[in-house]
Amino acid sequence: MLQGYSHELTNPDHLFQRILFLVLFYVDLWSGRVGVGVFQLQKNTYQGPQAISWRPFFILFFWPHQPLVILPALLTLTTALCGEDVMQAGKDLRLERIFNAQSGKTIIVPMDHGTSLGPIPGLISPTDAVNKVCQGGANAVLMHKGLVRSAFRGHARDLGLIVHLSASTDLSPLPNAKRLVATVEEAVKMGADAVSVHVNLGDETESAMLADLGRVGYAAQEWGIPLLAMVYGRGPKIPNGMDPAVVAHCARVGEELGADVVKVPYCGDVESFARVCEGCSIPVVIAGGPKMDTRDDILRMVYESILAGGAGISIGRNVFQDPDPASLVHALSAIIHHGEGLQQARTMLAA
**Is the pLDDT at 244 greater than 90, yes or no?**
yes
Over its C-alpha atoms, the chain yields an Rg (Å, rounded) of: 24
| Ramachandran angles phi, psi of 350, nearest 5° | -80, -20
* 1 band by pLDDT with thresholds 50, 70 and 90: very low
The model's pLDDT over 6-57, given as tens digits with 9 standing for 90+, comes to 333 334 333 333 444 455 554 555 555 555 555 544 443 333 333 444 444 4
Residue 263 known to be catalytic: yes
Beta-carbon contacts of 171 under 8 Å, excluding residues fewer than 6 positions away, are none
Residue 232 known to be catalytic: yes
Q: What pLDDT, on the 0 to 100 scale, is given for residue 42?
A: 43
Torsion sign, CA atoms 256, 259, 260, 265? negative
Q: What pLDDT, on the 0 to 100 scale, is given for residue 189?
A: 95
CB 219 within 8 A of CB 187: no
Average pLDDT over residues 337-346: 96
> Checking DSSP bridges between strand 166-167 and strand 227-233, what pairing results, if any?
unpaired
* 307 band by pLDDT with thresholds 50, 70 and 90: very high
The model's pLDDT over 86-137, given as tens digits with 9 standing for 90+, comes to 567 889 999 999 999 999 999 999 999 999 999 999 999 999 999 999 999 9
Q: From its phi and psi, is residue 276 left (phi > 0), alpha (psi between -120 and 50) or beta?
A: alpha
In angstroms, rounded to a whole number, what is the distance separating the alpha carbons of residues 42 and 98?
34
How far is CA 59 from each of CA 30, 38, 76, 80, rounded to the nearest angstrom? 19, 6, 11, 16
Average pLDDT over residues 321-337: 97
User: E strand or H helix at 268, and its extent?
Assistant: none
Could you say which of 91, 105, 178, 232 is catalytic?
232
The model's pLDDT over 126-167, given as tens digits with 9 standing for 90+, comes to 999 999 999 999 999 999 999 998 887 655 568 999 999 999
**Is the pLDDT at 323 greater than 60, yes or no?**
yes
Task: Give the least confident one: 53-57, 225-229, 246-250, 294-298.
Answer: 53-57
In angstroms, rounded to a whole number, what is the distance separating the alpha carbons of residues 14 and 218?
18
Could you say which of 105, 112, 178, 212 is catalytic?
112
* 85 band by pLDDT with thresholds 50, 70 and 90: low
CA-closest candidate to residue 143, choices 129, 122, 121, 161: 161
* Mean pLDDT value across the chain: 83
In angstroms, rounded to a whole number, what is the distance separating the alpha carbons of residues 145 and 257?
23
Average pLDDT over residues 296-308: 98
Q: What pLDDT, on the 0 to 100 scale, is given for residue 171?
A: 98
**Is the pLDDT at 5 greater than 90, yes or no?**
no
Q: What pLDDT, on the 0 to 100 scale, is given for residue 150?
A: 83
In angstroms, rounded to a whole number, what is the distance separating the alpha carbons of residues 234 and 284?
19
Could you say which of 132, 193, 263, 266 is catalytic?
263
Average pLDDT over residues 318-329: 97
CA-closest candidate to residue 3, choices 60, 88, 78: 78
The greatest distance separating any two alpha carbons of the chain, rounded to the nearest whole angstrom, comes to: 85
Average pLDDT over residues 214-231: 97
In the chain, what are the domain boundaries? 5-89, 97-350
CB 54 within 8 A of CB 5: yes
Average pLDDT over residues 187-198: 96
Q: What pLDDT, on the 0 to 100 scale, is given for residue 225?
A: 97
Query: Can you say how many angstroms the Cα of residue 182 is from the centroid of all Cα atoms in its chain?
Result: 13
How far is CA 337 from each of CA 274, 278, 313, rounded to the nearest angstrom? 19, 21, 11
> Checking DSSP bridges between strand 5-10 and strand 227-233, what pairing results, if any?
unpaired
Superfamily of domain 97-350: Aldolase class I (3.20.20.70)
